[in-house]
Amino acid sequence: AQSVTQLDSQVPVFEEAPVELRCNYSSSVSVYLFWYVQYPNQGLQLLLKYLSGSTLVKGINGFEAEFNKSQTSFHLRKPSVHISDTAEYFCAVSRGGYQKVTFGTGTKLQVIP
């Protein structure tokens, strides 16, 4: 079985500061990894995905994530956040393209002016 842990339920950060949202997964096989973002009163939107290849994945809105197999992590980073990045971020894992995706519990990023 696969699972995802997002240890931080809320992360406050000042505008223009860097941020890292943590995600750890457990799976006995190779995985696909995803980050989704949910802006207030909206559905989820794919931010980035890791399927294979380079462990550093770049996504939309200046976000990137690094797949670390030895630490079973897929942390999301942005060097300088904006007010508009205030949202809830979900990490997700799958064992393959046609395998069920399991979502984490979400991390609320609050950007402080």
Partner 1 sequence: DVKVTQSSRYLVKRTGEKVFLECVQDMDHENMFWYRQDPGLGLRLIYFSYDVKMKEKGDIPEGYSVSREKKERFSLILESASTNQTSMYLCASSIPGQGWIEQFFGPGTRLTVL
User: Under the rule (CB under 8 A), what is the footprint of partner 1?
Assistant: 9, 32, 41-46, 49, 51, 90, 94, 96-101, 103-106
Closest separation in Å from C-beta 46 to partner 1: 5
For residue 29, give the nearest of 95, 97, 98, 73 by alpha carbon: 95
Where are any strands of DSSP class E within the chain?
3-5, 10-14, 19-21, 24-26, 32-38, 44-50, 56-58, 64-68, 73-78, 87-94, 102-103, 107-112
Q: What letter would DSSP give residue 42?
A: S
Q: How far is the CB of 80 from partner 1 (least distance, A)?
A: 26
Write down the least CB distance from residue 66 to partner 1, Å. Answer: 19
Residue with smaller CB distance to partner 1, 33 or 81:
33
For residue 34 the two structure tokens come to 């995803």
Q: Per DSSP, what are the bridge partners of residue 10?
A: 108
Choose between 38 and 73: whose C-beta lies nearer to partner 1.
38
Nearer to partner 1, 36 or 113 (CB): 36
Nearer to partner 1, 14 or 39 (CB): 39
CB of 97 to partner 1, least distance (A): 4
